Structure 1
Amino acid sequence: MRIAIAGGGPGGLTLARILHRHGIGAVVYERDADRSARTQGGMLDLHSESGQHALTEAGLAGRFWSAARPEGEELRILDPAGRMLLHHRPQPSSVAGRPEIDRSDLRDLLLDSLPGDTIVWQHRLVAATPRPGGGFALTFDDGRTTGCDVLIGADGARSVVRPLLTDAPLSTVALLAELSVGDVDRRHPDLAALVGPGNLWCLGESRILAAQRLGDGSLRVGISLPADGVGLDAASDTRALLAGGPGLGAAPDTRTLLDMFRGWSPRLTALVEAADGAATMRRIETMPIGTRWATRPGVTLIGDAAHLMPPVGEGANQAMLDAAELAAALAANPADPDAAIRAYEETMFRRIGPIAEMSARVQVMMLTPTAAADLLRFFTPEPAG
């Protein structure tokens, strides 16, 4: 049984690792030229019931805790004047929470746990075609081809494998401008103190200025905006941000970004002014809640390819749990992969529905005029009794 996994993100690598532990071989086809070809993004908080559980199934829990940063759980929520609205501090040396780990460290941890020939780099899948006798013919962007008996799409938001199972559309729910500030302790100690060891959210009307501290001493800064521009004032030039079509317009300059935060405390807007280089613009897209498909022999999806949700803390966790559950099903029934896929999909569909609904609510909540009050209620526990 030749298993092909399209995509070497957290889900695809976790799947390959757990299959390897069960003695089941798989090949991961990854578009990057090598592990250091591009930055992997910010931090992830791994949840005990999903991401951490998957790493336990992968035999990597100890190595995860060696690389994790429990202090990264700290969260500060401020208003535009810079006043602290909420300050969550994790318990010292706690192993019961949701510790953060840099995406690059998680990827390295998973890559180092796999045989060297598991990952086939510089192979971006562009087509997957059913073969008459079963399985799929795979075509890559440079014209190379290969085949497989079982195909698992772990290839993200714009999955090439997904159309084999569903034509669910993607919807843009927000826009994100990403910036980076390097060597922050030495170059910008005031910003290091402002953000702290974890996450900072500054909540205004229909916009968020956020930052998170990474293990390499840099800050990752994000500006979240409503996709339709509703709530942005006339002073905000959003033409470059709200360009039509699947792509985005040219990256806005610093002045354009700062115009969106007129009247905000200079302590906060300094995060934008200190950025190294231009912003990277991204669309935040989602699939319809409740997306399902009829099981098809030899193919399935995990992670964003299966259930693209807003990035509010569940995406990578659910991708890794998908991987653990699919690997367990295949290991339990290696002679009948189609039955294993069917069992995995039914479990996944039931699990993802309420999580997708919650994620959508949080995404809407974060970009409303009442975001600060709504999120404070969300993060404040109900009084006992």
Structure 2
Amino acid sequence: MQNALSIAILGGGPGGLTLARILHLHGIKATVFERDTHALARPQGGSLDMHPETGQRALQLAGLHDAFQALARYGDQGNRAYAPDGALLFDDANLDGDTPEIDRSQLRQILLNALPSGCVRWDQKVEALRPLPDGRHALVSAGVEDEAFDLVVGADGASSIVRPLVSSAQPAYEGVTIFELGIDDIDQRYPALAALSGHGKMFVKGSNTLLAAQRNSNAHVRLYAAIRMPLDAVRSHSITSPDTRRWLASTFAGYAAPFRELIEVATLLAVRPMLALPVGHRWANQPGLTLIGDAAHLMSPFGGEGANGAMADAADLALLLARGGEWREAVLAYETMMFPRAEAAAFGAGQGLRGAVAADQPAHIARHMQQGISPRPDK
């Protein structure tokens, strides 16, 4: 009976691919519909820290512990905090930590390598879902014959097309925009700048601004320039605009010279307004539909729970479906399990964003780090 269940997963990020992989291990076929034309069609973002109870657990259940360990960077878990004038406020190499880093692109490739041929359908942007009289849903895509599935899982992020079918909630702007930048081969090209973040993450907190640097693999450093600003002002900026580069430089003009230089030499990769669903977002169970990851609980990245939460969702849903019995009851059980976990994570992420990009003193960041809380600007 399980194998007769037809499952469509919309979105080939960490959550969707983890779900497909664990289902595959239990003999349950799923098809992943991904809008990208291939795995590296667009920037995948920076490094992720995999938490033991969520991301690492999901990789264990996916049978990918060894593949993860081969790439996990336990030496890149350090945290540093500076004042805008360059004074070092906090420094911890965190060599005993258990949240190792891995590049998002590497994690995605590990999952892709573990899926059977044809499981992921690239260049398949699903535009709508059409309910059918038998309770299934047909996926509507341009130029592709509609296919019907018993269960459609929205792993399709902030702009999910599945979410409106189960909930009226809409992501709202949280008042902060992150300008994402990158520096390649930083150790050879800019050794003095590379030393600022060392092996891990660096945070510099100003008034309603935050500059974070994060070491990735292959001597790449990802920068996150976070600024509290109106949404209307965000719309005037783009990664190709010289005016945006000049505006960024002026916004961080009060920072010490090395921090300004980081921004000057980096390539602008993305402009990301921070959006979030309401804390405690829930919906009434809808037969044949459910959500995981950002589609279900989009939140501020200042908590590092994005990919970890999505993978935890995927693991829980897959295991419940694999137990057998009535699959609709398994979906309901998953949602009941996920809602409180996501609420707690979203509450913490919101607090993290409000504290990290605020008008108070830079010592706020150091205090959080001393308490073991790292205000990650990525997911």
Both proteins in one fold, TM over 0.5:
yes
2:375 equivalent in structure 1: none
Residue 274 of structure 2 aligns to a residue whose secondary structure is strand
**Take 1:371 and 1:15, find their aligned partners in 2: how far apart are those partners?**
42
**Take 1:33 and 1:250, find their aligned partners in 2: how far apart are those partners?**
23
Residue 296 of structure 1 aligns to a residue whose secondary structure is coil
Q: How does 1:1-385 map to 2 (within 5 A)?
A: 1-91=5-95, 94=96, 97-173=98-174, 174-228=176-230, 241-243=233-235, 251=241, 252-276=243-267, 278-312=268-302, 313-333=304-324, 335-370=325-360, 372-381=362-371
TM-score, scaled relative to structure 2: 0.92
**Take 2:21 and 2:270, find their aligned partners in 1: how far apart are those partners?**
32
Question: Contact 2:20 / 2:31 at 8 angstroms: preserved in 1?
Answer: yes
Question: Contact 1:208 / 1:224 at 8 angstroms: preserved in 2?
Answer: yes
**Take 1:290 and 1:250, find their aligned partners in 2: how far apart are those partners?**
37
Letter in 1 for 2:305: E
CA deviation string 1:201-246 (max 9, x = no partner)? 11111001111111022211111011438xxxxxxxxx7x4338xx
Residue 256 of structure 1 aligns to a residue whose secondary structure is helix
CA deviation string 1:294-327 (max 9, x = no partner)? 1111110000000001012011111000000000
Question: Contact 2:89 / 2:363 at 8 angstroms: preserved in 1?
Answer: no
Letter in 2 for 1:265: A
Letter in 2 for 1:306: A
Residue 124 of structure 2 aligns to a residue whose secondary structure is coil
Quote the offset at 1:378 in angstroms.
2.2
Of residues 218-227 and 141-150 in structure 1, the stretch that sits farther from structure 2 once superposed is 141-150
CA deviation string 1:239-266 (max 9, x = no partner)? 7x4338xx97974432211100122211
Question: Contact 1:248 / 1:282 at 8 angstroms: preserved in 2?
Answer: no
**Take 2:229 and 2:41, find their aligned partners in 1: how far apart are those partners?**
30
**Take 1:227 and 1:47, find their aligned partners in 2: how far apart are those partners?**
31
Quote the offset at 1:23 in angstroms.
0.7
Mind listing any 5+ residue stretches in structure 2 that lack a counterpart?
373-379
Residue 272 of structure 2 aligns to a residue whose secondary structure is strand
Residue 99 of structure 2 aligns to a residue whose secondary structure is coil
Mind listing any 5+ residue stretches in structure 1 that lack a counterpart?
230-238
Question: Contact 2:203 / 2:365 at 8 angstroms: preserved in 1?
Answer: no
Quote the offset at 1:197 in angstroms.
2.0
**Take 2:23 and 2:109, find their aligned partners in 1: how far apart are those partners?**
18
TM-score, scaled relative to structure 1: 0.91
CA deviation string 1:322-380 (max 9, x = no partner)? 000000110013x4111000000001012122221111111100111125233322222
Letter in 2 for 1:128: L
Letter in 2 for 1:51: G
Letter in 1 for 2:36: D
Letter in 1 for 2:200: G
Question: Contact 1:298 / 1:337 at 8 angstroms: preserved in 2?
Answer: no
Letter in 1 for 2:146: T
**Take 1:309 and 1:256, find their aligned partners in 2: how far apart are those partners?**
27
**Take 1:223 and 1:286, find their aligned partners in 2: how far apart are those partners?**
19
Residue 330 of structure 2 aligns to a residue whose secondary structure is helix
Question: Contact 1:242 / 1:249 at 8 angstroms: preserved in 2?
Answer: no
**Take 1:200 and 1:27, find their aligned partners in 2: how far apart are those partners?**
39
**Take 2:11 and 2:365, find their aligned partners in 1: how far apart are those partners?**
34
Letter in 2 for 1:284: M
**Take 2:254 and 2:152, find their aligned partners in 1: how far apart are those partners?**
52
CA deviation string 1:31-78 (max 9, x = no partner)? 110112122110000100110011111111121111111122111111
**Take 1:249 and 1:12, find their aligned partners in 2: how far apart are those partners?**
28
**Take 1:255 and 1:156, find their aligned partners in 2: how far apart are those partners?**
31
Question: Contact 2:82 / 2:89 at 8 angstroms: preserved in 1?
Answer: yes
Letter in 1 for 2:256: S
Count how many residue pairs are aligned between Structure 1 and Structure 2. Answer: 365
Residue 53 of structure 2 aligns to a residue whose secondary structure is coil
**Take 2:212 and 2:143, find their aligned partners in 1: how far apart are those partners?**
39
Letter in 2 for 1:206: N
**Take 1:61 and 1:138, find their aligned partners in 2: how far apart are those partners?**
33
**Take 1:371 and 1:280, find their aligned partners in 2: how far apart are those partners?**
27
Residue 145 of structure 1 aligns to a residue whose secondary structure is strand
**Take 1:269 and 1:104, find their aligned partners in 2: how far apart are those partners?**
28
Residue 179 of structure 2 aligns to a residue whose secondary structure is strand
Quote the offset at 1:142 in angstroms.
4.2
**Take 2:7 and 2:222, find their aligned partners in 1: how far apart are those partners?**
36
**Take 2:314 and 2:77, find their aligned partners in 1: how far apart are those partners?**
25
% identity of equivalent residues: 41
